[in-house]
Amino acid sequence: MSQSYKDKKVITIGIVSELTGLTHRQIRYYEERNLIFPERSKHGNRKYSFSDIERLMEIANQIEDGVQTYEIRKEMMRREKQLDRKEVKKMIRGQLNAHFKIRE
């Protein structure tokens, strides 16, 4: 399965800064706080995706509303667990349907 264009890490921090209005320092701080996870090029440059940009905008809005970074991280982890559970349920349902030859 190929990666969605939204998840490809190809955007530099300068472009991300221009698109979001965040400073390089803010973006790096959110990375330090484990809120965003850029990849690194072979030269060590950070690379972001459109999904990362959307997440950064969510983070910036929450910070503006007074939410602390640790609270944002806790909520992100809760959401990820929920998604993981949904994926497992979907996979099990698919396996059961295949085993019993059920079509949805």
pLDDT digits (tens, 9 = 90+) for 23-72: 999 999 999 999 999 999 999 999 999 999 999 999 999 999 999 999 99
Q: Using CA atoms, how far apart are residues 54 and 57, in angstroms rounded to an integer?
A: 5
Q: Using CA atoms, how far apart are residues 8 and 39, in angstroms rounded to an integer?
A: 10
Q: Using CA atoms, how far apart are residues 30 and 68, in angstroms rounded to an integer?
A: 11
Q: Using CA atoms, how far apart are residues 55 and 31, in angstroms rounded to an integer?
A: 11
Q: For residues 36 and 69, is the Cβ–Cβ distance under 8 A? A: no
Q: Using CA atoms, how far apart are residues 75 and 24, in angstroms rounded to an integer?
A: 24
Percent of the chain with pLDDT over 70: 96
The residue among 66 and 103 whose pLDDT is bigger is 66
What pLDDT, on a 0 to 100 scale, did the predictor assign at position 74?
94
What pLDDT, on a 0 to 100 scale, did the predictor assign at position 36?
95
Q: Which pLDDT band, with edges at 50, 70 and 90, does 4 fall under?
A: confident
